[in-house]
Structure 1
Amino acid sequence: MIKPLALFAAILGVSAHSNLHKPQPRGNLEWWGYCSRGNGCSTACDAPRAKSTIDSPYVQAKEIRRGETIEVEWLRQNHPGGFVRLAMVPFDQSDDASAFDRHATHYSCYESTCREDSHDSFLGVNNGSGSQACTTKFQVPKSLPNGPVTLQWLWYGGGVLFADQNASFAHYVNCADMKIVGDEPIVNESITPTFDAVDKGAGVQGKCRYWSTNSSKGCSKGAETKDQCGYGGEQFGEPAELQNIAEQF
């Protein structure tokens, strides 16, 4: 027999969220560091620009260079599926969600490099301990000047909520503030977004496994019941935004 406390812990585990792990995100106090657009947090970042520590004398900001490739890491946190979208803008634009929309330059399958072996029947299909790290690579845009910048990490299309294989998660977002340094030349060029099209969790290549939506604009609050946007089983595909770009050519 499962004790009440153990049951509560298990439910918390299966309903855990995901968030950016590295680079260090801003975080927040109101939502324990997470920011779900389905649970009251609807800002461009997990905390507004005013709460950033980028200029704090007690915090050493991560320094990056134009054109540098950095590793971005998040934890699987029990749940499978979806996409990660990365965008970087000048720090003073980081309260503007549309700025990130206009400067999204990289997409990745959520389970790009991680694979959780656990298939606990109590927690639900494809749910596990969530301890494994997932990563992708991001190139710092060459068009950004020296100074503070903000990287936005957006996860959408995740699924299996409360062990329901048809339920899906709301969109989750985090931001990491860094500083561009160095004397590399500024290059103003149009960037075609890149796609890390490997999903090790699903064992497929070229497409990602996802629930509810493959668009960063669709079904942002997730679906727990049949009458909500995106309720349904797993699907396979690529980000809708990349499909739209391909259709223009």
Structure 2
Amino acid sequence: MKFLPFSLAAFAAFAAFAAFAALGCFAPLPVEAHSWLVKPVSRETGPRTTDGTVGCPNTTPGTPTSFSAGETIDVRYWRNNHLGGFIRWAISPVGSESASDFDDKVFFYTCRESGPDCVPADGSTSRYAGDSSGDYTISCGDTITLPDWLDEGDYVLQWVWFGVGSSYGNIGWAEPQFVSCADITLTSTGSSSEPECATFVGGDRVTKSEDLGSDECFYFYTNSIESTQYKGSNDDYEQYYMFGQPSYVENCTADAGNSTVLPSTTEMPEMESPETETPTVTPSASDYPTSAPEAASHESSVTGDAINSDVTDESSDGEYPAGTVAPESCKGKKRSWTRE
């Protein structure tokens, strides 16, 4: 009997540890939410990451949105505390949706933090500012111009973000590359010939607030689409953030001997909370990974503003295409894009 108090104490300690471990898996941790294309309406209702080997995460066509060839259209997606980066836009006929199909049909690049509404709710002009609001409240995206050289018909518009910083509260980590696909119908046939290089429209939240011009974007670590996730220092993170154009734009315009870089037409908004045409799709269930190392705290940076993600899992059978990363629980940490 003299050992009973020790046994009870040990049991209590074990129970406390188990409860703590459970909370570590299921309680909200300071992580960012992620993003996907919501205007035009995409097939995805939650984020899907890619290692570059898949064209569309969801291969089931959705209801198409109709546009004219060469039309300038509004595009929107969520900011969700992430920093900088680029968006690649590609278009391919329905049914031709492999990664290589889209790689061969890239027509436009933009800055990820573009658009009049892509500003923190508190008006911060810091390069490293978070949203200062809840998930899915700050929308990014401005306009893109659809190709004017395609026949009328049904197509898939692919959206890929890359060169984005701040992941799971780690300001020195790259954010995984996300991909979405939206079904569209071109109601007219274009009248132009396809240019040698994709168009690039520069200018974003940071370049405008710092008056740096409109021919580049603020981005993290790399201006190329990569198959791995870079994890750098949270203490010396500023070295990873820079300004420039997508590598594909640089290489193509250099080879072609001309430029397809267009200035941004969006004026920097007043730093008040504007009435925004924000995306209307709001996730309702949470399965996204919530396990990540604790990051160092940085004043006025997203590391202090990261918010838990609520994501809808649209897959009915739990299967995801090769090359994509499904939302996971704390137990599942294997990702094709993670560099160990």
TM (norm. structure 2) is 0.58
* Ranges in structure 1 where 5+ consecutive residues have no aligned partner: 54-58
Whichever structure has more strand as a proportion of its residues is 1
Match of 1:37 in 2: 50
2:156 is paired with a residue whose SS is strand
2:103 matched to 1:90?
Answer: no
Q: CA deviation at 1:109?
A: 0.9
User: Matches of 1:141 and 1:21 in 2, distance apart?
Assistant: 20
- Note if contact 2:217-2:244 (Cα within 8 Å) is conserved in structure 1: yes
Equivalent runs, 1:214-229 vs 2, <5 Å: 214-216=223-225, 218=226, 220-224=227-231
Q: Deviations over 1:42-62 (max 9, x none)?
A: 5211312xx123xxxxx4x31
Q: CA deviation at 1:171?
A: 1.0
User: Matches of 2:217 and 2:240 in 1, distance apart?
Assistant: 14
The residue type equivalent to 2:111 in the other structure is C
Q: CA deviation at 1:212?
A: 2.6
User: Matches of 1:75 and 1:20 in 2, distance apart?
Assistant: 8
Q: CA deviation at 1:209?
A: 1.3
Q: CA deviation at 1:24?
A: 0.5
Equivalent runs, 1:1-249 vs 2, <5 Å: 8-11=27-30, 14-27=31-44, 33-37=46-50, 42-48=53-59, 51-53=60-62, 59=63, 61-94=64-97, 96-113=98-115, 114-117=118-121, 125-128=128-131, 129=133, 131-182=137-188, 184-201=189-206, 203=209, 204-205=212-213, 206-216=215-225, 218=226, 220-224=227-231, 233-248=240-255, 249=257
The residue type equivalent to 2:114 in the other structure is S
The residue type equivalent to 1:149 in the other structure is Y
Q: CA deviation at 1:185?
A: 4.9
The residue type equivalent to 1:102 in the other structure is D
User: Matches of 1:178 and 1:163 in 2, distance apart?
Assistant: 35
User: Matches of 2:232 and 2:165 in 1, distance apart?
Assistant: 13
The residue type equivalent to 2:32 in the other structure is S
RMSD (Å) for aligned C-alpha atoms = 2.9
The residue type equivalent to 1:45 in the other structure is C
Q: CA deviation at 1:243?
A: 0.6
User: Matches of 2:123 and 2:144 in 1, distance apart?
Assistant: 31
Computing the radius of gyration from Cα coordinates, the structure with the larger value is 2
User: Matches of 1:93 and 1:186 in 2, distance apart?
Assistant: 23
Do the aligned partners of residues 185 and 111 (structure 1) sit closer, same or farther apart at CA in structure 2, a change above 3 Å counting? closer
User: Matches of 1:185 and 1:52 in 2, distance apart?
Assistant: 23
2:113 is paired with a residue whose SS is coil
User: Matches of 1:9 and 1:201 in 2, distance apart?
Assistant: 30
Q: CA deviation at 1:136?
A: 2.7
* Ranges in structure 2 where 5+ consecutive residues have no aligned partner: 1-22, 258-340
Match of 1:56 in 2: none
Do the aligned partners of residues 185 and 221 (structure 1) sit closer, same or farther apart at CA in structure 2, a change above 3 Å counting? closer
Do the aligned partners of residues 194 and 15 (structure 1) sit closer, same or farther apart at CA in structure 2, a change above 3 Å counting? same
Q: CA deviation at 1:9?
A: 3.1
Q: CA deviation at 1:177?
A: 0.5
User: Matches of 2:196 and 2:249 in 1, distance apart?
Assistant: 12
Q: CA deviation at 1:10?
A: 4.8
User: Matches of 2:239 and 2:178 in 1, distance apart?
Assistant: 19
1:246 is paired with a residue whose SS is helix
What is the total number of aligned residue pairs between the two structures? Answer: 219
2:33 is paired with a residue whose SS is coil
Q: CA deviation at 1:221?
A: 2.9
Q: Deviations over 1:184-238 (max 9, x none)?
A: 455443353222211114534322111131012x3x3322357xxxx96212111
Do the aligned partners of residues 157 and 189 (structure 1) sit closer, same or farther apart at CA in structure 2, a change above 3 Å counting? closer
Q: Deviations over 1:71-105 (max 9, x none)?
A: 111111111111001111111212x1112112211
Q: Percent identity?
A: 29
